[in-house]
Amino acid sequence: MKPKPIGPIPPGYHALGGELAIGGRTASDLVAEAGGTPLFVYSRALIDARIADLRAALPQRIGINYAIKANPHADVIRHMEGLVDGFDIASGGELALATKAGLDPARISFAGPGKRDDELEAAIAAGVTLNCESEGEGRRAIAIGQRLSIAPRIAIRVNPDFELKGSGMKMGGGAKPFGVDADKVSDLARFLMGEGVTWRGLHIFTGSQALSADAIIEAQNNVLNLADELSNEIGEALPKLNMGGGFGVPYFPGDEPVDLNAIGEALHGRMADLPDSLAKTDLCLELGRYLVGEAGVYLCRVIDRKESHGMTYLVTDGGLHHQLAASGNFGTVVRRNYPIAIANRYDTGPEEVVNVVGCLCTPLDRLADKAEMPRGQVGDIVAVFCAGAYGATASPSAFLGHGPAAEVLV
């Protein structure tokens, strides 16, 4: 049986007494304390390390925003509060989470192509910056601001004519439902300012989940050039520029981590040579997956070990209802294996080739195909890595009635 490769286990995970340890605690201890599997474990130390690496590589004047949608767990949001410079939200629900976590609304911006009136109102009342996605949305925000007697804080989200090459999801280049086409931005900006909104600048997002530093550097250069052009067209310096993110994490065999130093060097070069229009602009990157994706592990337990037509299956109590992306069913064409391990025998080498599946009654529910693992037994704990972003909330947790997984930050 020829095994299929698995993705790279992220740095920072080690064995403790033979077991996978997260935040200095063994997987079985964490599971026992949580009351069982399935369980998402997020590591403070790994989040801290990732942000420290970013701070070391990036010019000091470039802020880091956390996109809450990547992982909106309350403890994660609160932990981020002291680590990042701003937050991005994508809905009224995320605004409520941000408010509950006590985040300063002046540090929050709100992007999303379909903001309802009640969401605009809550954001304007709170003093959150709207990343305006269309003229229609701008007009609705102005009307709501007038009713509330509050000048809305508005930036414009730009749909640029270029894209982030090699990104998992392209958010620019051609027709898009996101933002305002670049050639219409300056008219809209002048209109909004004429209506008395508090002008907050631009948000230019080009794509996500890119691993090539060259592609990211090119996109960042394009973003800075476009921001300069638009600022000149608008006739006003930009108070703020959200340069987007796009930094990916390695999920699959052969994926290499982003070369942070190369990106940092290129940005240092650009910062030394910024045009006047951006000289005093508050610059930031918006990152979600890159900050938390590799800091999370999904733990589930082997419920059954069975053979069918010569294949061995480890059936777990987890599955695509918690980790849809790992099953290969969320916007994926070809299924590949996420990094995976038997957590309670983390320092044991491969002993067999197995399929690891979830507990759902559907052939879609796969966690690993033909993976080389130590021999798995009923009761063993399976760890699926890269579960810190777009895991628990980006999966159909009500599917088949098993309910959501527990989550813990350690």
Site for a copy of itself in 348-377 (CB under 8 A): 355, 357-364
- Nearer to a copy of itself among residue 111 and residue 234 (C-beta): 111
* Residue 340 Cα distances to 54, 125, 312, 354, angstroms: 26, 45, 16, 12
Candidate ranges 5-13, 74-82, 89-97, 259-267; the one touching a copy of itself (CB under 8 A): 89-97
* Residue 390 Cα distances to 70, 92, 296, 372, angstroms: 5, 18, 10, 26
Minimal distance in Å, beta carbon 92 to a copy of itself? Answer: 7
Minimal distance in Å, beta carbon 294 to a copy of itself? Answer: 20
- Nearer to a copy of itself among residue 59 and residue 404 (C-beta): 404
* Using rule CB under 8 A, residue 97 touches a copy of itself: yes
* Residues 106-145 as x/- pattern, contact with a copy of itself by CB under 8 A: -----xxxxxx----------------xxxxx--------
Site for a copy of itself in 56-85 (CB under 8 A): 68-69, 72
* Using rule CB under 8 A, residue 396 touches a copy of itself: yes
- Nearer to a copy of itself among residue 228 and residue 286 (C-beta): 286
Strand-strand pairing, 169-170 and 129-132: unpaired
Strand-strand pairing, 153-159 and 129-132: parallel
Site for a copy of itself in 299-338 (CB under 8 A): 303-311, 313, 315-317, 319, 324, 329-331, 333
Residue 150's nearest CA partner among 111, 124, 188 is 124
* Using rule CB under 8 A, residue 291 touches a copy of itself: no
Name 170's bridge partners: 207
In whole angstroms, give the CA distance from residue 389 to residue 350: 28
Site for a copy of itself in 145-204 (CB under 8 A): 159, 169-171, 174-178, 181
Kindly tell me which residue out of 54, 76, 94, 285 binds a copy of itself, with binding defined by CB under 8 A: 94
Q: What is the dihedral of CA 110, 395, 14, 349, to 10 degrees?
A: -150
Which DSSP letter does residue 210 get?
B
Residues with Cβ within 8 Å of residue 223, at least 6 apart in sequence: 160, 204, 206, 241, 243, 244
Kindly tell me which residue out of 6, 9, 41, 89 binds a copy of itself, with binding defined by CB under 8 A: 89
Asked if 8 contacts 1 with a C-beta cutoff of 8 angstroms, the reply is no
* Residue 342 Cα distances to 235, 352, 357, 379, angstroms: 59, 12, 13, 11
Candidate ranges 90-98, 217-225, 232-240, 257-265; the one touching a copy of itself (CB under 8 A): 90-98
- Nearer to a copy of itself among residue 153 and residue 321 (C-beta): 321
Kindly tell me which residue out of 26, 65, 91, 212 binds a copy of itself, with binding defined by CB under 8 A: 91
Minimal distance in Å, beta carbon 91 to a copy of itself? Answer: 4
Residue 10's nearest CA partner among 236, 295, 204 is 295
- Nearer to a copy of itself among residue 277 and residue 312 (C-beta): 312
